[in-house]
Amino acid sequence: MNPRAILLAAGLAVAALAMAAPMPALAVGATETLSDPVLEARARAIGKQLRCLVCQNQSIDDSDADLAKDIRRLVREQLVAGKSDDEIIGYLVSRYGDFILLRPPFKAKTLALWIGPGAFLVLAGAGALVYLRRRARAARDAVPPLTDDERRRLNDLLGSG
């Protein structure tokens, strides 16, 4: 193999690895950050606890959705106003409900959030088991039993008879 082909293959491999590697989302723009590093760190910590209501599987800190940007801005405004982390999170929960929390509390209203995925898996597994058993029973019942002539011929062929 010539050196140019090796370099090309190596370059392609590096490019593929770079594209496949998980990269942090850079959703928080430079214009959104606070000048006070302590407040900005608190804003980031709060943002990692809150779910983007548009994306639903990302924190508002990682999301580029307009609603996530609005909530990030609201968090930063309340931090500048002197609110505590708990007050900010409490305000957002009162406004959007427990679903805004990436880790909602375990209580009656959030029971479906906690038990729903497990219950779905159990029901799906039970449905698959019922389906496979019915399919096996149908396949077993579809083969008719041997007649006496077929049984005699089989025994003759096997030499046991």
- Percent of the residues in the chain that have a pLDDT greater than 90, as a whole number: 46
Instruction: Please write the tens of the pLDDT for every residue from 43-83.
Output: 999 999 999 989 878 999 888 889 999 999 999 999 999 99
pLDDT at 5: 72
The structure's pTM equals 0.54
At 50, give phi and psi (nearest 5°): -105, 135
Instruction: Please write the tens of the pLDDT for every residue from 15-25.
Output: 666 665 544 44
Q: Is 9 exposed, middle or buried (0-12, 13-18, 19+ CB in 10 A)?
A: exposed
- Percent of the residues in the chain that have a pLDDT greater than 70, as a whole number: 86
Instruction: Please write the tens of the pLDDT for every residue from 118-154.
Output: 999 999 999 999 999 999 998 888 888 889 999 999 9
pLDDT at 144: 85
Count of Cβ atoms closer than 10 Å to residue 76 Cβ: 21
pLDDT at 28: 62
DSSP code of residue 145: P
pLDDT at 127: 96
Of 7-11, 79-83, 105-109, 110-114, give the lowest mean pLDDT range. 7-11
The SS3 call for residue 81 is coil
